[in-house]
Amino acid sequence: DGGITQSPKYLFRKEGQNVTLSCEQNLNHDAMYWYRQDPGQGLRLIYYSQIVNDFQKGDIAEGYSVSREKKESFPLTVTSAQKNPTAFYLCASSTLYGRHLDTQYFGPGTRLTVL
């Protein structure tokens, strides 16, 4: 089955801890994205990547870091510098054919709670 997997489904973080959220896709998509969603809010872009070993900051990158060492994987680290990390984190991927051939698909999400 082709798709996007995220793990863990639920994650609890203590104050001052760094945690890493996993995102893997087997859709052969070039682009991958991380979003944050807070209750009753829309999606806010954290980071995105169009190619291996390259990524760009989104609108709310402070306190987060990513890597893209493999096409299939785009892990997100929530650092202790992120002061309010409790949220629903969504990973997405898309093709990069250009113009209107590209569509973005989402993984199931990771719900992060700070204790």
Enumerate binding residues for other proteins (CB under 8 A): 31, 33, 41-43, 45, 48, 50, 56, 58, 90, 92, 94, 96, 99-100, 102-109
Residue 61, token pair as written in the block: 């990158």
Helix (H, G, I), strand (E, B) or coil at 110: strand
Q: What is the distance between the alpha carbons of residues 83 and 81, in angstroms, rounded to a whole number?
A: 6
CB of 95 to other proteins, least distance (A): 10
CB of 28 to other proteins, least distance (A): 16
Looking at residue 69, what DSSP letter applies?
S
Residue 35, token pair as written in the block: 């979003």
CB of 94 to other proteins, least distance (A): 7
Q: Closer to other proteins at the Cβ: 44 or 80?
A: 44
Q: Closer to other proteins at the Cβ: 11 or 43?
A: 43
Residue 17, token pair as written in the block: 């801890």
Q: What is the distance between the alpha carbons of residues 36 and 106, in angstroms, rounded to a whole number?
A: 12
Q: Closer to other proteins at the Cβ: 43 or 80?
A: 43
